[in-house]
A = this chain, B = another copy of it.
Amino acid sequence: MTFAAKILKPRHGRLDLRAGRVELSHGSGGRAMAQLIAEVFQPALGNAFLAQGNDQAILPPAGGRLAMTTDGYVVSPLFFPGGDIGSLAVHGTVNDLAMAGATPLYLTASFIIEEGFPLADLVRIAVSMGRAARAAGVPVVTGDTKVVERGKADGVFISTAGVGVVPAGLDLSGDRARPGDAVILSGSIGDHGVAIMSCRENLKFDTEVRSDSAPLHGLVAAMVAAAAPHLRLMRDPTRGGLAATLNEIAQQSGVGFAVDEARILVKPQVAAACELLGLDPLFVANEGKLLAVVEPAGVDAVLGAMRAHPFGRDAAHIGTVVKDEHRFVQMTTAFGGGRIVDWLAGEQLPRIC
């Protein structure tokens, strides 16, 4: 049963969206759930598909290979500079589709809510989710709400799934990196993770660190238009950061990487916060960046397209795929030395997304 099913009007009064709280009955399938959906989710997320009012959304034929993904969001705190769990859930799922070169079409949203959660916060999250979905042009077509007892969850968890369609002829995959390919990064790293950690530690900086949470499908579309035949793969370095992403691709493709630390952009305030928190920005999560592996012949076209897009202005060619049976990620440091970037670190940052 999805929340699209609950389109009837409740009979008794309206919810107190300023001071009210979520109750167990709001997840029961009865009239209280209908009211929560009618007064919170429908106004925030409403679109023609959601309004069908059945336990599933019926959508036009997609015409092409489908891409499908899912992600759970348990970020703490729920609200942070640059976003919240609602917008993050939209961006994260849109981005996982975009990394296959897919055009994201539809999202679903499953809310698991702790009893007693303030309705005002739920409205804020739903409104933010709806705004992010509209801005991305990817509607939330169906959803579900469950409520668990106080102390059995932590505010709100959201799981989103997404469906997209892959343009004909495009085949991006983590196993396609080849020695000699270029590694391109769309911008600065560490912003999201540091924004979250700064919230938790209540750190104040002269310049606030904001999450980079953003939908990347427009940037990807520009890259595909500019140089589709030269694109090997794309991936967004979320949990585990750039280090985990490079190591994953190294394993999948059976290659190594040689990257140049001096070409990896870290904003000064992010670098300062990382120093204070004992974090290495290479291992810190991003939510609005992508890494692309590109044939040498396509580098200029890809970089040109990226730098012309608001989310790729700082795109840089940070390194090269190398032949390496050990599948190491090697980095030339800013001081001219070298190190192996493993991905063991970064496990100390739970609930970053």
Q: Which residues of A does B touch, CB under 8 Å?
A: 1-2, 5-8, 24-25, 27-33, 52-74, 96-97, 99-100, 102, 106, 108-112, 141-149, 151-154, 157, 159, 161, 163-164, 166, 172-175, 235-236, 238-241, 244, 248, 251-252, 285, 343-351
Also in contact, A110 and B159, with CB within 8 A (given A58-B166, A69-B2, A143-B70): yes
B112 touches A157 (CB 8 A): yes
B347 touches A53 (CB 8 A): no
Also in contact, A163 and B163, with CB within 8 A (given A55-B96, A59-B66, A144-B70): yes
Chain B nearest CB from A333 CB (Å) reads 22
A71 touches B1 (CB 8 A): yes
CA distance A348 to B32 in the complex (A): 12
A54 touches B1 (CB 8 A): no
Q: In the assembled complex, which residues on chain B have CB atoms less than 8 Å from the CB atom of A109?
A: 70
B159 touches A239 (CB 8 A): no
In the complex formed, the residue of B with least CB distance to A12 is B344
B346 touches A29 (CB 8 A): yes
Best-surrounded residue of A71, A72, A147 (most CB of chain B within 10 A): A72
B2 touches A71 (CB 8 A): yes
CA distance A343 to B102 in the complex (A): 43
Also in contact, A59 and B54, with CB within 8 A (given A112-B112, A240-B29): no
B248 touches A159 (CB 8 A): no
Q: In the assembled complex, which residues on chain B have CB atoms less than 8 Å from the CB atom of A248?
A: 5-6, 8
A54 touches B174 (CB 8 A): yes
In the complex formed, the residue of B with least CB distance to A71 is B144
Q: In the assembled complex, which residues on chain B have CB atoms less than 8 Å from the CB atom of A99?
A: 54-56
**Nearest 8 CB-CB pairings of A with B:** A29-B239, A29-B240, A161-B161, A159-B159, A70-B108, A110-B159, A56-B69, A8-B251
